[in-house]
Amino acid sequence: MDLKLDGAGLSPFRNFSRAEWAALRADTPQPLKTDEIQRLQGFNDRLSTPEIEEIYLPLSRLLSIYVGATQKLFRQMQKFLGPEQNGKMPYIIGVAGSVAVGKSTTARVLQALLARWPNTPKVALVTTDGFLLPNAILEREGLMGRKGFPESYDLPALLHFLTDIKAGRRPVRAPVYSHFDYDVTPNLTVEVDQPDILIVEGLNVLQTSRPPKDGKGIPFVSDFFDFKVYIDADETILERWYVERFMRLRETAFRDPKAYFHRYSSLTAAEADATARAIWRSINLLNLQENILPTRQRADLILRKGGDHEVEAVSLRKL
């Protein structure tokens, strides 16, 4: 992995091959039962059993150690500061990476696995697409071709949401995005009610900068995170996954006349392939190069995927 400091022997990360990472499973009690594996594969039927057991189970164990240590520190701080303090502060995990790298799959698997650990039974998941500006505003501002770029989000609303979560308020509500409508759903929210862990998944979650007009004096989204995960894969592989998903959607969701992208369902396979590649290159690849990949160095853990979504290497921050 070409992390900048590697050459000087100063990498802030400890690197594990897949085999080294999988060996950590030896310390992980309670291997998953068949019905649990089936339930996880319900999120994504392409997710293999070895992947769940060798990669995501050790990761959930590692995270539960971090969460446990933070919970202990929090209890001690409560004793130190007195009874006025908050009763509960959710542990927040950020999951970042390109469009189509597998953020939502990873986040859902982690959500299910983390909920198995005794100290974290309640695990909530929020995706940042709910904080995209509605299409009506994006259209007015000429930003429809910039969905997923920093300027397409209602960043103050996302920061407000995270502030409320960290302050232990309950319940807190997050807006919801519909891929079917390709827009934020009006008047629909999800409730987050003091979970033990909140997973926040999205392209933009490790970003540190904003367009200059509102960039002054505001915190970064990742300031609210206790642990930051970045999912990584080569650009050519990502393009393939994006196109494959687009071709599957063309056969399924896009067929519905009410779908925003219904017009794509009548394209020939060659036209659909060209359309998907054009969207990938003009929007998602550009965003990856300009805004997402530069945040990889800020992660606490990097999962490096190969062409079949199998995790080939793991880097864990040691500094």
Ligand X SMILES: Nc1ncnc2c1ncn2[C@@H]1O[C@H](COP(=O)(O)OP(=O)(O)O)[C@@H](O)[C@H]1O
Ligand Y SMILES: CC(C)(COP(=O)(O)O)[C@@H](O)C(=O)NCCC(=O)O
Residues comprising the binding site for ATP?
97-104
Binding residues: 97-104
User: Residue from 58, 90, 94, 102 that binds ligand X (CB under 6 A)?
Assistant: 102
Residue 8 class from Cβ within 10 Å (0-12 exposed, 13-18 middle, 19+ buried)?
Answer: exposed
72: three-class secondary structure by DSSP: helix
Q: How crowded is residue 129: how many other Cβ atoms within 10 Å of its Cβ?
A: 21
Determine, following the binding rule CB under 6 A, whether residue 158 of this chain makes contact with ligand X: no
Determine, following the binding rule CB under 6 A, whether residue 129 of this chain makes contact with ligand Y: yes
Q: Which of residues 223-242 bind ligand X (CB under 6 A)?
A: 241
Q: Which of residues 240-279 bind ligand Y (CB under 6 A)?
A: 279
145-163 burial, b if ≥16 CB within 10 A, otherwise e?
eebbbbebbbbeebbebbe
Q: How crowded is residue 63: how many other Cβ atoms within 10 Å of its Cβ?
A: 24
Instruction: Take residue 309 and report the two structure tokens written for it.
Output: 């979504």
User: Residue from 15, 28, 41, 44 that binds ligand X (CB under 6 A)?
Assistant: 44
Determine, following the binding rule CB under 6 A, whether residue 106 of this chain makes contact with ligand Y: no
Instruction: Take residue 193 and report the two structure tokens written for it.
Output: 């009610």
Determine, following the binding rule CB under 6 A, whether residue 103 of this chain makes contact with ligand X: yes
Alpha-carbon gap, residue 57 to 40, rounded angstroms: 12
Whose Cβ is closer to ligand X: residue 296's or residue 309's?
Answer: 309
Shortest approach of ligand X to residue 201 CB, angstroms? 7
Contact map string, positions 192 to 221, toward ligand Y, x by CB under 6 A: ----------xxx-----------------
Shortest approach of ligand X to residue 104 CB, angstroms? 3
Shortest approach of ligand X to residue 278 CB, angstroms? 18
Contact map string, positions 283 to 302, toward ligand Y, x by CB under 6 A: xx------------------
Whose Cβ is closer to ligand Y: residue 54's or residue 239's?
Answer: 239
Instruction: Take residue 84 and report the two structure tokens written for it.
Output: 């006025």
Residue at token pair 């997923």 = 148
Q: Which of residues 76-105 bind ligand Y (CB under 6 A)?
A: 99
CB 108 within 8 A of CB 93: no
Q: Which of residues 48-77 bind ligand X (CB under 6 A)?
A: 51
CB 319 within 8 A of CB 299: no
- Bridge partner residues of 302 (DSSP): 230, 315
Binding site residues, ligand X, CB under 6 A: 44, 46-47, 51, 97, 99-105, 241, 245, 309
